[in-house]
């Protein structure tokens, strides 16, 4: 297996603005980011192509996350859900490479390091 340059990321949430900082960070490090404003749009995107990382900021995470888990289980994708904490949020890992891995929550400041490690693993697995 070769090393892959592009990591594909699906951002699922109410507004692209909720991902502005994360998207800048991801795109600067060579990720190809796509946005889905609804669960139905996310399903459509997932049918069209494979994603390596899926980030969800839906306000009612239970149903949306369970639907995304159903779509991504057994795949090679890693799924994170946003947990609102005051004015900010923490990222909660839900799937890693298609397998359940709930918690622990990751502060926004530490999430960049987690993403870097994850991107390295994705690129090596190619």
CATH no. of 7-125: 3.40.50.2300
Contact 91, 42 (CB under 8 A): no
- Structural domain spans, the chain: 7-125
Over residues 11-65, the pLDDT tens digits come to 998 888 878 777 887 888 788 999 999 889 999 999 999 999 999 987 655 577 8
Question: Taking 50 as the threshold, does the pLDDT of residue 66 lie above it?
Answer: yes
Residue 1 has pLDDT above 50, yes or no: no
Comparing 116 with 51, which gets the higher pLDDT?
A: 51
Number of CB atoms found within 10 A of residue 100's CB: 11
The secondary structure of 92-122 as a DSSP string is: EEEEETTEE-----EEHHHHHHHHHHHHHHH
Q: What is the pLDDT of residue 62?
A: 59
pTM of the model: 0.87
Q: Tokens for 29?
A: 């490090």
In this prediction, residues 111-124 reach a mean pLDDT of: 83
């Amino acid at each position: 297996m070769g090393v892959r340059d592009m990591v594909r990321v699906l951002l699922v949430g109410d507004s692209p603005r909720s991902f502005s900082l994360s998207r800048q960070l991801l795109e600067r490090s060579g990720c190809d980011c796509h946005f889905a404003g609804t669960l139905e749009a996310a399903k459509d995107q997932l049918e069209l192509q494979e994603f390596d990382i899926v980030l969800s900021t839906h306000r009612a995470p239970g149903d949306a996350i369970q639907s995304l888990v159903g779509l991504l289980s057994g795949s090679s994708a890693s799924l994170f859900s946003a947990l609102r904490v005051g004015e900010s949020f923490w990222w909660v890992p839900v799937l890693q490479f298609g397998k359940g891995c709930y918690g622990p929550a990751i502060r926004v400041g530490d999430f960049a390091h987690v993403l870097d490690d994850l991107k390295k693993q994705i690129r090596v697995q190619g």
